[in-house]
Amino acid sequence: MANNKRRHALKMMLALGGGALLSGCDRLSRSDRFVRLLNTAEPLNEKLQRALTGSALAREYTTADISPVFRPNGETDPQNSAYRQLAANQFADYRLEVGGRVQAPQRLTLADIRALPARTQITRHDCVEGWSAIGQWTGARLAALLDLVQPMGDANYVVFRCADLWGRSQEPYYESIDLEEARHPQTLLAYELNGAPLPIANGAPLRLRVERQLGYKMAKYIMAIELVNSFAHIGGGRGGYWEDRGYAWYAGI
Amino acid sequence: MAKDSLPHLSSYRHRLPVRIAHWINVVCLFIMLLSGLQIFNAHAALYWGSASDFDAPWLYIGAARTEDGPAGRTELLGRQFDTAGFLGTSGDADNPEMRAFPAWLTIPGPRWLAMGRQWHFFFAWILVINALLYLTWSAASGHLRELWPNRADWRGIGRSLWDHLLLRHPTGEAATRYNVLQKLAYLGVIFGLGTLIVLTGLCMSPRMDTVLEPLLQLFGGRQSARSLHFIAAMGFVLFVAIHLFEVIVTGPWNNLRSMITGRYDYRADVPGNSRENSHGEQ
């Protein structure tokens, strides 16, 4: 009897102790100061990984490795009327606006983009959720587009503005990468997946491929590209839709 | 001679660096495991190979639709288990939440991948720095040599295993030193599981993968690395469970104190009492 009571008390103690520990962790997760402390790891990860890997290429696979279905994620069929009109016309009226801190702003048709120096690569796409898929991408090298528009000396980031609208406030998706990433040979504005025009589910007519980072960096439905000095004034100020919701801007990990 | 009349002795069993590293490990492993389960929950399936074959995970935690609402199911190597209330569905029994691991096993509690990652990657640094400091000190101080089994240890491994299974543990002076199974367990965790979990963790980073291809090949691809990372984490859970069990059956307060102050009390060996000396004659 006494033993039972003691066991019960011990169980209660463990449950209460464990519960207190975990609710403590939840409280810390909502404390700005603690989250800032956790975030001190992000620049460390970025600096160390950049130093260790330099401009090394992501592995390229063979056609035999291509996933039967390249899983689309996030938005897979934007419903807003502007995008629907473009899609209805097979993107014939699509124009990519490239501006911001550049010497020569451009307004490009898909044909213009297809005429830029291109690259085809079979790469592995890693989602922040944990899964991976392998696909063959063909697209214009972003470096070639940068050569065309000539970024000004104070341009630090390339911002991608997208057609897909998110959340209750219907906020457009956006992302940003730095110029080093933008000039990496495998960084593409992809218009083909597995040898066919990019499907709507995977970001038609144009999506970003940044092969050394996670999937959420690879903006789909790109409508405009802007070179900026800082992204502090865009969206929530953290450089991307998911970054504004707590995900790391540097998504190499 | 009555047992209680044996002289009580105490020894300084754990040096300060070991004690500090131990408690930092406790905090880090707790946070790494629970934030890791939060991250796992974002895609509660594990695969072998480079990419995910969504039709053939070797481990999948989800929920089946039933007349009474969603019911947690776990598929392991093609076999399905009813895990409602714990894995797949958990929380309020009348209105369960659909999630792989329950809220009481994840950091943070609610579904919050971004925050789980922040915890995981911060404490990964603490864990690795702690491990490097511990290893450096261990190599320099001779502690590592103490951990390495000697010839007598290897010879006594069968007996030690048998003694552990019968819960017969050294009580005398021998209790102040690591026995052979302890040595192998600690070395295995430090150099085996520890190395495996760090390397498979690094292999999940697409940026690190640009220079870690040989390692990735060794593990069998990124999804294999994710699977092995999970398996290594379960290995740590198993180690901690056995470790805590042994701590409890060999005198929890004495053990706990020895890991806090270093002091460990034991009874003096007397002829015919010490297991080490008398074992052959029993």
Bigger pLDDT: A7 vs A87: A87
* Mutation site, A33, A132, A184, interface B, largest B CB count within 10 A: A132
The token pair that represents A131 in the structure block: 């899964």
Contact of B25 with chain A, judged by CB distance below 8 Å, is answered with: no
- Please state, for a pLDDT cut of 70, what percent of chain B lies above it: 93
CB contact under 8 A, B42 and A130: yes
Q: What is the pLDDT of residue B129?
A: 97
Bigger pLDDT: B134 vs B6: B134
Mean pLDDT of A8-12: 79
Bigger pLDDT: B1 vs A246: A246
Please report where in the chains the tokens 């039709």 appear, as a residue. B55
- Please state, for a pLDDT cut of 90, what percent of chain B lies above it: 79
Give yes or no for a contact between B131 and B191, defined as CB atoms under 8 angstroms apart. no
Distance (Å, whole) CA A83 – CA A91: 9
State the pLDDT confidence band at B281, using cuts at 50, 70 and 90.
Answer: very low
DSSP-derived letter for residue A68 is S
Q: What is the pLDDT of residue B91?
A: 92
Condensed to tens digits (0 to 9), the pLDDT of residues A179-232 reads 999 999 999 999 999 999 999 999 999 999 999 999 999 999 999 999 999 999
Q: Which residues contact B163 (CB under 8 A, 6 or more apart)?
A: B169, B275
Q: Quick one: chain B helix, strand, coil %, rounded to 5? A: 55, 15, 30
Listed residue (A172, A93, A98) closest to A140, CA to CA:
A98
Q: What is the pLDDT of residue A9?
A: 80
Among A21-25, B37-41, B123-127, the least confident range: A21-25
Chain-wide mean pLDDT for chain B?
Answer: 91
Condensed to tens digits (0 to 9), the pLDDT of residues B218-234 reads 999 999 999 999 999 99
The token pair that represents A99 in the structure block: 């501006």
* Mutation site, B39, B54, B120, B210, interface A, largest A CB count within 10 A: B210
State the pLDDT confidence band at B279, using cuts at 50, 70 and 90.
Answer: very low
Compare all CA atoms of chain B with the CA of A213 and give the residue at the minimum distance.
B206
Bigger pLDDT: A233 vs B281: A233
CB contact under 8 A, A132 and B118: no
Q: What is the pLDDT of residue A2?
A: 59
Distance (Å, whole) CA B168 – CA B204: 43
CA distance B225 to chain A (A): 11
Condensed to tens digits (0 to 9), the pLDDT of residues A36-69 reads 999 999 999 999 999 999 999 999 999 999 999 9
Mean pLDDT of B4-31: 90
Using the predicted structure, report yes or no on whether residue B89 has a pLDDT greater than 80: yes
Cα→Cα distances B72→B6, B33, B97, B108, B213, Å = 56, 21, 10, 21, 37
State the pLDDT confidence band at A12, using cuts at 50, 70 and 90.
Answer: confident
Distance (Å, whole) CA B183 – CA B259: 17
Contacts of B51 in chain A (CB under 8 A): 65, 67, 124, 132-134
* Mutation site, B40, B101, B207, B212, interface A, largest A CB count within 10 A: B207
Extended beta strands in chain B, E state: 8-12, 45-46, 59-66, 69-76, 79-82, 88-90, 97-99, 263-267
Using the predicted structure, report yes or no on whether residue A107 has a pLDDT greater than 90: yes
Mean pLDDT of B256-275: 77
Contacts of A25 in chain B (CB under 8 A): 31, 34, 107-109, 119
Structural domain boundaries in chain A: 58-245
Using the Cα atoms of residue A49, residue A185, residue A146 and residue A126 in order, give the sign of their dihedral: negative
Bigger pLDDT: A20 vs A139: A139
CB contact under 8 A, A52 and B211: yes
**Which domains, ranges and CATH numbers included, belong to chain B?**
8-44+106-275 (1.20.950.20), 46-100 (no CATH)
Q: What is the pLDDT of residue B275?
A: 46
Bigger pLDDT: B106 vs B8: B106
Distance (Å, whole) CA A241 – CA A165: 10
Mean pLDDT of A3-25: 80
Q: What is the pLDDT of residue B4?
A: 57
Condensed to tens digits (0 to 9), the pLDDT of residues A156-166 reads 999 999 999 99
DSSP-derived letter for residue A102 is B
Q: What is the pLDDT of residue A174?
A: 98
Q: What is the pLDDT of residue B122?
A: 98
Identify the CATH number of the domain defined by range A58-245. Answer: 3.90.420.10
Q: What is the pLDDT of residue A16?
A: 80
CA distance B235 to chain A (A): 20
